[in-house]
Structure 1
Amino acid sequence: MSEKLKENTVKTIIKEKEIVFNENCILGGDKDFFINRLSECFLKAKKIDIIVAFLRETGVKLLKNDLELAKNNGVKIRILTGNYLGITEPSALYLMKDILKSKCDMRFYADSKRSFHPKAYIFHYEDGGGEIFIGSSNISLSALTKGIEWNYRLKKEDNIEDFKYFCYAFEDLFLNNSIVLNENELKNYSRQWKKPKVYSVKEIEEEVEKEKVINIFSPRGAQIEALSGLNKLRDEGMDKGIVVASTGIGKTYLAAFDSLKYEKVLFVAHREEILNQAEIIFKNVRENFKTGFFRGNTRDLNVDGLFASVQTLGKKEYLNENYFSRDYFDYIVIDEFHHAVNKNYINIINYFKPKFLLGITATPERMDNKDVFQICDYNIAYEIRLTEAINKGYLCPFRYYGIYDDSVNYDNINLNRGRYNEKELEKSLMIDKRANLILKHYKKYNSKQCIGFCSSKNHAEYMAKYFNENGVKACAVYSGVGENSINRSEAIKKLVNGNIQIIFSVDMFNEGVDIKTLDMVMFLRPTESSTIFLQQLGRGLRLDKNKKYVNVLDFIGNYKKADMIPSLIGGKRKCNEKGNNPNEFEYPEDCIVDFDFELVDIYKRLLSKDIKIKDLVKEEYFRIKEELGHRPRRVEFIKGIDGEIYF
């Protein structure tokens, strides 16, 4: 079946199956969908009160057309729901508010510790009549369609006293036992919300598959919350903003959804693969969207959406009236926004004057401490980091194994500007003793699809050769030609098809790659950049219905920044505890972390070490001086110093 055919709405399918058994009794199942009865009532109501135990995103999407119709008819809608056990999804609340705007008064039942299970839909009509549906259906796709849910229609004219009694009970709960879901309350609920244990990754994926019948390409989860934040910025008169979202959230789809209000769109990225992927996504979201590219030797101009490489468009020769007027684009997206402090990005940002500019990134913090938030006037529309994304079920949990590696003594490798000398590091890592350690641990986990991140091209080539020689089908991916190297797209195809089991790479898989079925990530070089670490970790965190978790193998020695790893994977000391054993820290939901005991001893020393602030500042001074090439002025020093030391 083609993707277009799948876009048939659930209601179309419903009508084909509909058989009315009883005017007042709705039983659900394949032939008696509750949504049909509700739609009839939404059409003629002047006031609607809804009380349900929970709302789910798929249910709100199913009701969207009915809700919009009611809103346009001036209907006042009140909704009382629960937050008991966290079943109500924040994205469902954000979506409901976005659909109804000021026509909706939405509240939580005040006692979050008390079981809250009412399900009733109360409709008031112009002629003074009304009806209530009371039964078992919450606002979810299943409950409104083919789930076995029993609901009974109670007509006002037939049961006026009962109708009044239910209305009075709703009024009392709504006015006297509720918390108004204003912006702050909704934001706090979203921040604290975790995916309920009753939902597995497979169930979430199956729900998404069902949702495709409603609309294949529509915002979901974090995207809905981010869109709400972007709309709020624009309502406040802002013309630019940044969204910080962990790898795997769907930032490019988010940008495509947000662009729907605008005609001329520019999407800027630094990799060709990202541009190709983005062009497909925008065409999925926007019908009849004429697209083109501005990169290499291609100069497409008469298009609705232009996908441009920063290396090409950022040149001064193209940033002039001969090619583009300053207001040519209504909407500009800068992908991987942490790069936006670089020259060509700045050229583009300074030249164009769009109605709105969106920066998207998973990792806004830079090792050189340049401030990307300043470029968007510190307008953070939405932010969801690794821990929150896993807790909410948007990303796959990980099982992290910190493996002690004493085959390399990093004290013997020279540092240059805070980084290890590349040639010396490469030579130290390319030894059989270490490769054998990696192979031995790799074989423990029966991985089918793995990426191993290396320090250099030669290191990647060496590791691919070693694995091939030891019976594990492998390849290397980097810019250049080697005995075991192939291009990136071919490598991905072979990995997914099972022709190889592991890809060794340096940084070509950091961005713009989506392999949902990846079951292992290996870090085979010292972690020197938090940004790169999180990007590479994110390769394995995509959700897939056949994947419960991703294994992460990190080979750790006595290198300079090893102590930052526990915090990078979300580790925090438990409340009121001061211990420095990273195995006892709190990590994201359903994640397992296990550092070898030798590393635990190292971390205990590192995390408890009382380093004098004077020594830290002195070390930072010389680092910044070397980076600038001159003695730093006071402002340069303050801007360049590591934030953890400064604060």
Structure 2
Amino acid sequence: MTIKNKSTKEEFIKGNLVNKEIQLSTNCITGDRDHLLDKLRQAFKKAKKIDIIVAFLMESGVRLLEKDLKDVLNRNVPIRILTGNYLNITQPQALYLLKDILKDRVDLRFYNISGKSFHPKAYIFEYDNKDGDIFIGSSNISKSALTSGIEWNYRIRKEDNELDFQCYKDIFEDLFNNKSIIVDDNELDKYSKSWRKPKLFFDMENKEKTEEKIISYPKPKDAQIEALYKLKKFREEGFDRGIVVAATGIGKTYLAAFDSSKYNKVLFVAHRQEILNQAETSFRIVRKTNNTGFFSGNRKDRNKDVLFATVQTLGQKQYLCDDYFKEDEFDYIIIDEFHHAVADNYQNILDYFKPKFLLGLTATPERMDNRDVFEICNHNVVYEVRLKEAINKGWLTPFRYYGIYDDVDYNNISFKNGKYDDKELEEALMINKRGDLILKHYNKYHSKRALGFCSSRNHANYMAKYFSEKGIPACAVLSGEKLEYCIGRKEALKKFNSGEIKVIFSVDMFNEGLDVPSVDMVMFLRPTQSSTIFLQQLGRGLRKHKNKKYVNVLDFIGNYKKANLIPFLLTGVIKNIDEKSKKTIIPTEEDFPEDCHIDFDFRLVDIFKKMREEQKKIIDLVIEEYYRIKHELKRRPTRLDMYKYIDDNIYNNIRTKSKINIFNDYLGFLNKLEELDEEENRFIGTKAHDFIVKIETTAMTKTYKMPLLLAFYNNGDFKLKVSEEEIYLSFKEFYKKPSNAVDLIRDKNGKNYKEWGREEYLKVAKNPRNAFINTAKEFFIDKGETYEITDELEDYVKNKYFISHFKDVIDYKTSEFYKKRLEKREELNK
């Protein structure tokens, strides 16, 4: 029969395929009526050995096989997986999830021959009876490939075709053993840090997300998977507190809920009730429990599985006692927005409770007052994903940033102690000419939901009034007494989500704790000098949302202090921005997150250039920092104070320059500023001064020197001679703190340090004893059973100033060591 008409021919073929039952071999899997997943599950159940080779792995595929993989783990079945990393199709979180499920049971590797394509897809199973199956074809480990796509695969049964089975098996052995690299934690960290979401991924992701069933509770995803893996490993190493730094929108609250789910009693602390309310919902879903409560305001719940507390209430010392809570009441404590944790009420909570684990969560650990948040957790950053990396990985929405010239002359506004005069600033910003400029640019980008950040309550109210009078539905959301155009936060968000209000103006109410993914515009309407606040406000618009391809950012910039640093903040990398701004005015395109558009008015470029030319000498900035910190503390800063609170960019400028590094001779620095007491002045140029400098500049690759020095310090009763017993007790006390014990834990001979006695600790103490003899022999004497400091210091060691400076050096050097250890870890992950 001949069919001439094309459409008739197509209908004929289609009808025959539908009506005729196609007879398939049980070895054929076509993805039309049957899919590979069911066949794999049957094979997993009886396998005694499993080898998998696929071009790529995706989180969705690993999730599908999660129960099967757990069964493999429980039955001690060895499993090897070889995958590709070409074009970044393999998702890092898929690999973290695999390693978390299978632990040490899996031998995971990347194909490692450059310039050669890698597209195999085969699943090799060996069974008890020396039989086996190979499923070979087109299916990678992804949801669509295993359950819904047209994927052709064929089963080779060993008993039917042993020659072909062995051929594929031998080739796998060669590829796995000779043409691969092991994906250990370090290799996976490197891959994750460099991974960027490939362009072709967007279509693939859409396929992965279609027809997903609605479930009653969520699963960890993306960064959460990576962070959970790191947290588990972190605790296995003996740490009891750490920080997760993750850009806004990553899902830090759910992460905390997942990680704490196996702990009986959990405390969640935040500084706003709205944050607690959102967190309580997340925890109830993850833990599948209603046994939650609040400790804030008039509500004082206790004896709950999960308690949500405001820091303002719980941080009061009247509640931090056995009458309310025991020190070990909670197994797991979460401090949300951890950059606030240096405040007194947070410190009260941190000092009182003794949980099994404490987790700090923050998107922006750097504070505008430079107080060191990292120091609270001994610089133990468990996991970190900043803005640029999160956008590059497709976890956050890209932004289109417009730097708009604002002709307000900030030189006419008083500036003192790091900030502009509130009243003068308010008057300069609340003028119709500036309102016209803001409205003009707002109208340009057709926003449906915008946030505007203002300098003061009056400024926010003025902007809400101005927009409303111009026909744009707007309001102000403020703390404290309500103004004319101000409405409550809850009501504002309801109207904002419904579209009844198009713009919300605030001062700092929405810097944190706002979860409105549909925000499509953020407006900076005030001079922003804090990197923390800048990134918090930018982050308000970056949460992903259906049909939202990007967020518009309107920044109205004048000649205010530090305005020239804004281009560098947009890279998402805060470190060393002062130094970077001296070398160039605008970073290169590669420095910004992918798919982001940055546009500065040419007049702003001129302002940035002028600011760069006017930058002060570094030593003058150091002195300014000293007096700023002194003003904040209301006393002379110690070394540790200066180290904790000095601007990071200034510190990074001086740390490698011995002549201007004040930490190499802090006494000398204080002397030049005429900040020493009369009695302290007598130390200058003496043997005691030389000794302090020697300790300040001693090299530290491990913490071992500190407990040795603490033995001499003797809790303030300084000794020139210490016995081996005293050295042993000092080491034992020092290493009770898990963060101090990292060097021991990571040494193969030190993993059981908690069981150590005198002999083991004295063996470790030999290292610093020998080091000081080699590098400071003019001060230290080793007599075997005793370790001594030269009697030339005898006239000084009982002096309270000498003892104070000595202890300050130990505290500073320990804190410095923690920070350097963190930096080394970050460097390894690049």
Same fold (TM over 0.5): yes
Per the TM alignment, residue 584 of structure 1 is displaced from its structure 2 partner at its CA by 5.0
Whole-angstrom distance in 2 between the partners of 1:624 and 1:114: 58
Deviations along 1:577-609, whole A, 9 cap, x unmatched?
Answer: 965345756310100000011111222333465
Equivalent position of 1:369 in the other structure: 370
**Structure 2 counterpart of 1:101, from 83, 100, 103:** 103
Deviations along 1:407-440, whole A, 9 cap, x unmatched?
Answer: x111111112101111111111000111100000
Whole-angstrom distance in 1 between the partners of 2:215 and 2:71: 17
Q: 1:74 to 1:635 in 2, by over 3 A?
A: closer
Whole-angstrom distance in 2 between the partners of 1:43 and 1:138: 20
1:639 and 2:639 correspond: no
Question: Is contact 1:248–1:542 with CA below 8 Å preserved after alignment?
Answer: yes
Whole-angstrom distance in 1 between the partners of 2:102 and 2:292: 33
Equivalent position of 1:158 in the other structure: 160
TM-score normalised by L of structure 1: 0.93
Equivalent position of 1:173 in the other structure: 175
1:558 and 2:559 correspond: yes
Per the TM alignment, residue 212 of structure 1 is displaced from its structure 2 partner at its CA by 5.2
1:278 and 2:279 correspond: yes
Q: Equivalent residue of 1:317, what SS?
A: coil
Aligned length: 624
Whole-angstrom distance in 2 between the partners of 1:235 and 1:513: 34
Equivalent position of 1:86 in the other structure: 88
Per the TM alignment, residue 46 of structure 1 is displaced from its structure 2 partner at its CA by 0.3
Equivalent position of 2:570 in the other structure: 569
Equivalent position of 2:775 in the other structure: none
Equivalent position of 1:190 in the other structure: 192
1:294 and 2:299 correspond: no
Equivalent position of 2:631 in the other structure: 626
Per the TM alignment, residue 547 of structure 1 is displaced from its structure 2 partner at its CA by 0.4
Unmatched runs of 5 consecutive residues or more in structure 2 = 1-21, 653-830
Equivalent position of 2:261 in the other structure: 260
Equivalent position of 1:358 in the other structure: 359
Q: What amino acid is the match of 2:331?
A: D
1:55 and 2:60 correspond: no
TM-score normalised by L of structure 2: 0.73
**Structure 2 counterpart of 1:120, from 108, 122, 138:** 122
Question: Is contact 2:567–2:586 with CA below 8 Å preserved after alignment?
Answer: no
1:23 and 2:17 correspond: no
Question: Is contact 1:460–1:506 with CA below 8 Å preserved after alignment?
Answer: yes
Equivalent position of 1:4 in the other structure: none
Per the TM alignment, residue 626 of structure 1 is displaced from its structure 2 partner at its CA by 2.5
Q: Equivalent residue of 2:260, what SS?
A: helix
Equivalent position of 2:445 in the other structure: 445
Q: Aligned Cα RMSD in Å?
A: 2.0
Question: Is contact 1:518–1:540 with CA below 8 Å preserved after alignment?
Answer: yes
Whole-angstrom distance in 1 between the partners of 2:454 and 2:117: 52
Equivalent position of 2:409 in the other structure: 409
Question: Is contact 1:583–1:600 with CA below 8 Å preserved after alignment?
Answer: no
Question: Is contact 1:20–1:32 with CA below 8 Å preserved after alignment?
Answer: no
Identity in percent:
63
Question: Is contact 1:398–1:549 with CA below 8 Å preserved after alignment?
Answer: yes
Q: Equivalent residue of 1:399, what SS?
A: strand
Equivalent position of 2:424 in the other structure: 424
Q: What amino acid is the match of 1:37?
A: K
Question: Is contact 2:564–2:585 with CA below 8 Å preserved after alignment?
Answer: no
Equivalent position of 1:3 in the other structure: none
Deviations along 1:502-547, whole A, 9 cap, x unmatched?
Answer: 1111111111111111110000000121111111111100011210
Q: 1:578 to 1:428 in 2, by over 3 A?
A: closer
Q: Equivalent residue of 1:260, what SS?
A: coil
Equivalent position of 2:148 in the other structure: 146
Per the TM alignment, residue 211 of structure 1 is displaced from its structure 2 partner at its CA by 5.2
Per the TM alignment, residue 203 of structure 1 is displaced from its structure 2 partner at its CA by 6.5
Q: Equivalent residue of 1:122, what SS?
A: strand
Equivalent position of 1:317 in the other structure: 318
Q: Equivalent residue of 2:42, what SS?
A: helix
Whole-angstrom distance in 2 between the partners of 1:245 and 1:214: 26
Per the TM alignment, residue 464 of structure 1 is displaced from its structure 2 partner at its CA by 0.7
- Bigger CA radius of gyration: 2
Deviations along 1:277-316, whole A, 9 cap, x unmatched?
Answer: 0000001111134101011011111211100111111111
Q: Equivalent residue of 1:324, what SS?
A: coil
Deviations along 1:209-235, whole A, 9 cap, x unmatched?
Answer: 755557741100000110111001111
Q: 1:302 to 1:515 in 2, by over 3 A?
A: same
Q: What amino acid is the match of 2:377?
A: C
Question: Is contact 2:568–2:587 with CA below 8 Å preserved after alignment?
Answer: no
Deviations along 1:109-151, whole A, 9 cap, x unmatched?
Answer: 0025432110000000011000100011000111110111111
Q: Equivalent residue of 1:438, what SS?
A: helix
Q: 1:114 to 1:602 in 2, by over 3 A?
A: farther
Equivalent position of 2:66 in the other structure: 64
Question: Is contact 1:369–1:639 with CA below 8 Å preserved after alignment?
Answer: yes
Deviations along 1:447-472, whole A, 9 cap, x unmatched?
Answer: 11100100111001100111111111
Q: 1:112 to 1:292 in 2, by over 3 A?
A: farther
Equivalent position of 1:383 in the other structure: 384
Deviates more, 1:392-401 or 1:211-220: 211-220
Q: Equivalent residue of 2:312, what SS?
A: helix
Q: 1:610 to 1:183 in 2, by over 3 A?
A: same
Whole-angstrom distance in 1 between the partners of 2:406 and 2:115: 48
Q: 1:297 to 1:214 in 2, by over 3 A?
A: closer
* Superposition map of 1:492-571 within 5 A: 492-570=493-571
Whole-angstrom distance in 2 between the partners of 1:292 and 1:219: 24
Per the TM alignment, residue 618 of structure 1 is displaced from its structure 2 partner at its CA by 3.0
Q: Equivalent residue of 1:316, what SS?
A: coil
Whole-angstrom distance in 2 between the partners of 1:123 and 1:187: 30
Per the TM alignment, residue 621 of structure 1 is displaced from its structure 2 partner at its CA by 2.9
Equivalent position of 2:810 in the other structure: none
Question: Is contact 1:582–1:600 with CA below 8 Å preserved after alignment?
Answer: no
Q: 1:21 to 1:627 in 2, by over 3 A?
A: same
Question: Is contact 1:84–1:114 with CA below 8 Å preserved after alignment?
Answer: no
Whole-angstrom distance in 1 between the partners of 2:337 and 2:572: 25
Q: 1:486 to 1:206 in 2, by over 3 A?
A: farther
Equivalent position of 2:655 in the other structure: none
Deviates more, 1:244-253 or 1:610-619: 610-619
Per the TM alignment, residue 78 of structure 1 is displaced from its structure 2 partner at its CA by 0.2
Question: Is contact 1:68–1:100 with CA below 8 Å preserved after alignment?
Answer: yes
Per the TM alignment, residue 633 of structure 1 is displaced from its structure 2 partner at its CA by 4.3
Whole-angstrom distance in 2 between the partners of 1:273 and 1:352: 24
Whole-angstrom distance in 1 between the partners of 2:206 and 2:628: 47
Whole-angstrom distance in 2 between the partners of 1:215 and 1:194: 31
Q: 1:607 to 1:377 in 2, by over 3 A?
A: same
Equivalent position of 2:457 in the other structure: 457
Per the TM alignment, residue 206 of structure 1 is displaced from its structure 2 partner at its CA by 7.0
Question: Is contact 2:216–2:285 with CA below 8 Å preserved after alignment?
Answer: no
Unmatched runs of 5 consecutive residues or more in structure 1 = 1-18
Q: What amino acid is the match of 2:550?
A: Y
Q: What amino acid is the match of 2:617?
A: K
**Greater relative contact order: 1 or 2 (C-alpha under 8 angstroms, separation 6 or more)?**
1
Per the TM alignment, residue 489 of structure 1 is displaced from its structure 2 partner at its CA by 1.6
Equivalent position of 1:335 in the other structure: 336
Q: 1:441 to 1:157 in 2, by over 3 A?
A: same
Q: Equivalent residue of 1:261, what SS?
A: coil
**Structure 1 counterpart of 2:591, from 576, 586, 589:** 586
Q: 1:185 to 1:194 in 2, by over 3 A?
A: same
Question: Is contact 2:294–2:309 with CA below 8 Å preserved after alignment?
Answer: yes
Whole-angstrom distance in 1 between the partners of 2:193 and 2:634: 43
1:602 and 2:607 correspond: yes
Whole-angstrom distance in 2 between the partners of 1:397 and 1:366: 25
Whole-angstrom distance in 2 between the partners of 1:244 and 1:290: 29
Q: What amino acid is the match of 2:52?
A: I
Per the TM alignment, residue 571 of structure 1 is displaced from its structure 2 partner at its CA by 6.9
Equivalent position of 1:249 in the other structure: 250
Equivalent position of 1:615 in the other structure: 620
